Structure 1
Amino acid sequence: MKDRILSVDIFRGMTIVLMILVNTPGTWQAVYAPLRHAEWHGYTPTDLVFPFFLFIVGTSIVFSYKNKEVTGATYKKISIRTLKLIGLGLFLGAFTLTFPFIKDFENIRFPGVLQRIGVVFFFASILFLNLNWKALIATAVLLLVGYWILMDFIPVNGMESTFERAPNNLANYIDVQVFGSHNYKADYDPEGLLSTLPSIVSSLLGIFTGLILTSKQEKKATILMGLGGSFLILGYVWDLFFPINKALWTSSFVLVTAGWANLILALIYYLTDVKKISFGSIFRYAGANAIVLYFLSSFISKVLGMIKVNETTSLHGWLFDTIYVHDFMSLQMSSLLYGLTVVAFYCLLAYVLYQRKIFIKV
């Protein structure tokens, strides 16, 4: 788009680069604390990454569909993109190296990151096309409050509901009942069924930011800063009653992560779009092919873990031990350097694709 906002592209690219970094350490046994997910309640910088991507999906929906004529072809395009994202996610969960290259059915994980992106994109797009901003706010509030009520007040198996990792946690219970062995963990999935409802709001809040950025409002950075601060305050107040939790994608988690997203995007917007300071081009390149980079990084990482150099060591493990593990540095540093090398590779790939004007749309 000729009126494209540079800060949005940079923010998207930064998010996808961080997604790759936190997903590809040298070894999961030695990862610095900020690059780990919270054990359960609370959050780390890593826990911000996925909601940031859903947030920017919402912002991008505004750029794609605002002031455009809505036809049957529009809904068809949205549906096809949704099915592509879900299909790629299911492929990642099912792929194996041995013929017929599909895991046994009982070992396939059904939920996943790309599946959630697809579902959230679908519902956020449909809502944006059919509701005005006031109705979108009402929908967001209804989803967040409704999810809290469901999680807090619905008994599970005759027991009082809980927000802890337990059988009487409603979100966990539904995931086990619906997906059975097809979850990420035996007792829950961080991209589970019920928690998809509040994750849609992560994208709706990104839509509100997109509406601000495309409006004629002055001092947009200031407005975004105020919005981000307000979300943070509301999120931390709600945390007293409904704990911040990524695995459950709690309503407080939605608000806190959207708060940080607005604050960071506001800063980038001020520097790039207001002050015209040039930086972050590599992130803009990564953002131009974000889904492709994420899929390739996940797929190649999975393949490297499957290829065996010997009975106990994968190709990934061999590369890490041979190139990165040394007596003069900690294992955590070695693990981080491996991840940064992976990130550098995909940033280079993003640069090449961008320079050759290759933009692979999913």
Structure 2
Amino acid sequence: MIKERLISLDVFRGVTILFMIIVNNPGSWSFIYPPLKHADWNGCTPADLVFPFFIFIMGTAIPFAMPAKTFDNAAFNKIIVRSLRIFCLGLFLNFFSKIELFSLEGIPLLFGRLAITFGVSYALMGNFSLKVKTYLALSIFGILLFLAFSGIEEYREVRIPGVLQRIGIVYFFVSLLYLKTTQKTQLLTASVLLLVYWGIMALVPVPGIGTANFEINTNLAAWLDNELLPGHLWVYTKTWDPEGILSTIPAIASGISGLLIGQLLNRSLPQLEIIKKMVIGGLTITVLGIVWSTIFPINKSLWTSSYVLYTSGLAILCLTVLYYVIDVANYKRWSTLFLIWGVNPMIVFFFSGIIPKVLRMIEFKNPEITAKTINLQDYFYSSCIAPFFNNPMSASLVFAILNVILWSFILWLFYKNKLIFKV
């Protein structure tokens, strides 16, 4: 019998999104506690678990969202449209700060950008008929890609890849696999993807560089990103992208790992037997990831095969604990805070990317250095938070926690009024 919803999965999603807000919104990027920093290259910190956990959770949720498991034109269209909507939300985030309207500047330009943002977010998260959703998603997708490759100066270097873009792509392939294949085929597909990716990265020479390698800037994934998307890559490197083309292949395997667990949770088995299988599976692939890392390092930016196994194993173990506590032991009163985050993830994903950009656009004369300007976000942090702490890392963390408190209040209002924004 197919379960309609799994509270522990919603809570797991909520914990992951909440932690994402803490990781992505420090008061100062110069002062961050080590667990909240991403690994410089190889390795995996708690911050590096957020993205693969979310992809795992997305895969786990698919059997709950598609209980009938029937594949027809309508189902295929829904999958394409949802994938496009997620992709476009991520792509628009990269456009926001580059939007130009006539010769507007400052606050008038900000209001113009916000007006466009609310229009796009409503078009991509509004509850319309499938036909309207299809037209809107295709139109926005076409407009954004046209602008990116039109040669218009403002959009020449707009980034194409991104977190939501990868989630949209992974959702598309994992959903099709769920509807069209057996669990054995899904497991085989994930295994092949990880092995093939390893083979490509470890054996194929890098054009213009030479021997295959896993180093920053000189690996095959970086070469392919720069070859196919020149000028449209991560702003901090411009020569490769952490959500690039080739590394999306193993990310699909991350989604499949969640899909397999979602189907296990939907089987008519005793709950303790499900837990036993999850613990064994989680421990096994975590260890396999650690072993594989000796020849293919755990690396988020490359989304290495060892990284997929390691993070998927940890995700399974985390979900197992939550499943036991919430759905088996029925101890759930503590979980409401995380539940309100877990049922509305996309609105947080999108607007938590917009709001900091808005605050940084609001500039005024710095009261302390009159010859310079300061933006609203930096002013609030430097004047209202930093002076109260001797440790700048603590001040930076408090700023992130204030973001969590603000979002918790907003999400509580949504939850109380039964407002759930779905893509």
Paired with 2:354 and 2:401, the residues of 1 have a C-alpha distance of: 17
Per-residue CA deviations over 1:265-311 (Å, capped at 9, x if unaligned) read 10011101111112211111111110111111111012112222234
Could you tell me whether the CA contact under 8 Å between 1:198 and 1:249 is conserved in 2? yes
Q: Identity, % of aligned pairs?
A: 40
In 2, Cα distance between equivalents of 1:295 and 1:309:
26
1:51-62 equivalences under 5 Å are 51-62=52-63
Cα pair 2:99 2:154 within 8 Å, conserved: no
* Offset of residue 2 of structure 1: 6.7
Q: Which residue is 2:417 aligned to?
A: 356
Equivalent residue, structure 2, for 1:191: 243
Q: Does 1:315 align with 2:376?
A: yes
Q: Deviations over 1:85-132 (max 9, x none)?
A: 111111110112763259812221110011111111111111111110
Is 1:126 matched up with 2:127? Answer: no
**Who is 2:398 aligned against?**
337
Q: What is residue 294 of structure 1 aligned with on the other side? A: 349
Q: What pairs up with 1:62-73 in 2 under 5 angstroms?
A: 62-73=63-74
SS in 2 for 1:246: coil
Distance 2:317 2:402 in 1: 29
Over the residues paired in the alignment, what is the CA RMSD in angstroms?
Answer: 1.5
The question of 1:216 aligning with 2:277 is answered: no
Match of 1:165 among 216, 220, 240: 216
Query: CA separation in 2, counterparts of 1:307 and 1:80?
Result: 35
CA distance in 2, matches of 1:116, 1:70: 23
Structure 2 CA distance for partners of 1:107 and 1:314, relative to 1, 3 Å: farther
Partners of 2:20 and 2:50 within 8 A in 1: yes
Unaligned runs of 5+ in 1: none
2:314 alignment counterpart: 260
- Give the Cα–Cα distance (whole angstroms) in 1 for the partners of residues 363 and 281 of structure 2: 50
- TM-score, with normalisation over the residues of structure 2? 0.83
- State the alpha-carbon separation in 1 of the partners of residues 51 and 356 from structure 2: 18
* Structure 2 CA distance for aligned equivalents of residues 268 and 327 of structure 1: 36
Conserved 8 A contact 1:31-1:335 = yes
One-letter identity of the residue aligned with 1:338? F
Conserved 8 A contact 1:26-1:339: yes
SS in structure 2 at match of 1:104: helix
Write the distance in 2 (CA, Å) between the matches of 1:231 and 1:30: 34
**When the two structures are aligned, how many residues end up with a matched partner?**
361
Q: CA deviation at 1:4?
A: 1.4
Q: Name which of 248, 255, 259 aligns with 2:302.
A: 248
Instruction: Encode CA deviations 1:35-64: one digit per residue, 9 max, x unaligned.
Output: 010000001000000000000000011111
1:273 corresponds in structure 2 to 327
CA distance, structure 1, for counterparts of residue 287 and residue 17 of structure 2: 27
Change (3 A) 1:2 1:126: closer
Give me the whole-angstrom Cα distance separating, in 1, the residues matched to 2:223 and 2:202.
Answer: 13
**CA contact 1:41–1:243 (8 Å) conserved in 2:** yes
What displacement does 1:70 show?
A: 2.7
- CA distance in structure 1 between the aligned counterparts of 2:198 and 2:3, rounded to whole angstroms: 41
Q: Distance in 1 between matches of 2:362 and 2:178?
A: 44
Moved more, 22-31 or 215-224: 215-224
Q: Which residue of 2 aligns with 1:86?
A: 87
Asked if the contact 1:236/1:256 (under 8 Å) is kept, the reply is yes
Structure 2: gaps of 5 or more residues:
102-112, 114-146, 148-152, 366-371
SS of 1:95's equivalent? helix
**Which residue of structure 1 aligns with residue 132 of structure 2?**
none
Say if 2:290 is the partner of 1:239.
no
Equivalent of residue 115 in structure 1, options 165, 186, 194: 165
